[in-house]
Amino acid sequence: MQLDPASGWCQGIAHCPSPNFNERPAGEISLLVVHNISLPPAQFGTGNVQAFFQNRLDVTEHPYFEGIADLRVSAHFLIERDGAVTQFVSCRDRAWHAGISRFEGRETCNDFSLGIELEGTDDLPYTDAQYASLTELTRQLLTAYPDITAQRICGHSDIAPGRKTDPGPAFDWARFRSALQDGGHT
């Protein structure tokens, strides 16, 4: 994969454009937020995340979907269990992933952040393939957007405490941070 900073799109990965984005108010990109998602919860490889981010989710398919039917959300990237990466929104644009949020006293993190969703749950281990793809993608983002530093990579739970818990205790922050420092080996 190769990020083109001019367009904000990664080449060499799947693109699944979402309508759920808008322009960044100041163009700033200085925070990376790691999330998790699975639809239905704890079911993987369903294609429902992609449908959800494109407002095409069949709400009759599962009872859980009725509660999220009216949500309009997206993220910049999704990393599936097998490590496949899909991009939904250009990095230059504001994806709707963080919601009500605050980082270092600053609210509305969507304005200045990138969001990466890992297919998973708070308490099921993430896969080796996901850590490898996350590390490779993050290294691309750190190179393209130098205002994102190691200290400015966090979980959704860090910017929305009490409201969000992802990526959860199953996410191995030490493994991820170590891989970033040692050249990307997980």
Chain centroid, CA 110 distance in Å: 11
Q: Could you give the maximum distance between any two Cα atoms of the chain, in Å?
A: 46
Active site residues: 117
Cβ-proximal residues to 90 (8 Å cutoff; 6+ apart), any chain? 7, 8, 9, 21, 76
Please tell me the distance from the alpha carbon of residue 37 to that of residue 35, in angstroms, as a whole number: 7
Amino acid identity for residue 117 in this structure: E
Structure tokens at 181: 């420092």
